[in-house]
Amino acid sequence: MNKLSTQAIVAATGRRDAVAPPSTASTLPVTREMFDEVMVRCYAPASFVPVRGEGSRVWDQNGRMYIDFAAGVAVTSLGHCHPALIRALTEQACTLWHVSNWFTNEPALRLARRLVDHTFADRVFLCNSGAEANEAALKLARRYAHDRFGESKFRVVSTLNAFHGRTLLTVTAGGQQKYASGFGPNPAGISHIPYNDVAALEEEFARDGKDICAVILEPMQGEGGMTPGTPEFLHAARRLCTAHNALLILDEIQSGMGRTGALFSYMQKGIVPDILTSAKGLGGGFPIGALLTTEDIASAFGVGVHGTTFGGNPLAAAVAGAAFDIINTTEVLDGVKARHALFMEGLKAINARRKVFSDLRGEGVWLGCELDTPWKGKAMDVVRAAGDAGLMVLVAGPDVVRLAPSLVISLDEILEGLARLETALNAALV
């Protein structure tokens, strides 16, 4: 290839105004069966394929409308296609997409400033997901303890039935063997106690306190059954960590960003963590995660100690900044508490007509409906029946139907969704 032809090729392919060949990406016929043909089967998706969303309503390929009580597993915190998030994404998409962490960028710094100004934190690490945020939190806790107290202080205390992500370290921390087994030796130095068991936590510190670098907890266990942390347990964790120079990590991947009626759940619990992790609702549907911590603890991560290519991506940070500005308002947070009351009233009314729940629990718009004894193990049956009834819901284990709708779901959507849930319960639990 001579110099002239090389330059011609570069010139031709470098023209941004050149007419691109037509793309088939958005017109390729798609069916639910295609998932089984081309995707790794880590998931078992519903029989219908969502194609459009607006607020808390979703439409499938056939034009059928569903009420969304799942919000992408507590992710679409402001519903689908919120105008403010569309505007933020569109404006940023026309400005700058990605530069990597060899540079910083304005949306990332603006988001970090918001998080610092409205929480306990002095420093923020931005990443792409909850698992990545928790991985960073555990690494930071171990590195901080290593640098301050020596190599032997690396033990992490977690709880049974927790969920902290799917990396090898976070899935080991999660304490659910069904997720952590079969991958060879799991990372060492992680122990698990029953959730809300103060005596077990005290025993763990009495035995190994000098070697414990961190306790990682969800303020309320989500995947593990929608079990709220008791004040006694959460306060004991804070007290014991302080007494033994260990760090308290609060995993607020699901509970944070307004879901419980506060910006972060810890603000209602009377405790302050050393490290907090956020994701899911932080981006309102756009992938992003964050680790929040203090100046002192953050100093254990020097340049090159930890990192991520896409962390603080301008697109993600711009959308998250717009979501933050809406969620962190009195109107929205008070609205979450009002919606909690409406949901609980409706669920209790369903239960009065048809005794299907042994317990209704949760905070804000993050609710667990535990099935009564005759229906144990049938939560997934309810999910499938809900789909048939035009409703999207979740499970939290085999016995709990989980609701995690948008923070701003409308009254009509709540009432219609509850009616469809009752239809699903009547169909599934016979």
CB 264 within 8 A of CB 252: yes
Q: Which residues contact 224 (CB under 8 A, 6 or more apart)?
A: 159, 160, 161, 162, 163, 176, 195, 218, 396, 397
Question: How far is 175 from 191, CA to CA, in rounded Å?
Answer: 8
358 three-class SS: strand
- Mind listing the pLDDT tens digit of every residue in the chain (430 residues)? 666 688 887 877 787 776 666 677 778 999 999 999 999 999 999 999 999 999 999 999 999 999 999 999 999 999 999 999 999 999 999 999 999 999 999 999 999 999 999 999 999 999 999 999 999 999 999 999 999 999 999 999 999 999 999 999 999 999 898 899 999 899 999 999 999 999 999 999 999 999 999 999 999 999 999 999 999 999 999 999 999 999 999 999 999 999 999 999 999 999 999 999 999 999 999 999 999 999 999 999 999 999 999 999 999 999 999 999 999 999 999 999 999 999 999 999 999 999 999 999 999 999 999 999 999 999 999 999 999 999 999 999 999 999 999 999 999 999 999 999 999 999 999 9
Question: How far is 430 from 390, CA to CA, in rounded Å?
Answer: 19
Q: State the Cα angle at 125 between 192 and 404, rounded to 5°.
A: 60
| Domains annotated on the chain, with CATH | 50-68+330-428 (3.90.1150.10), 85-327 (3.40.640.10)
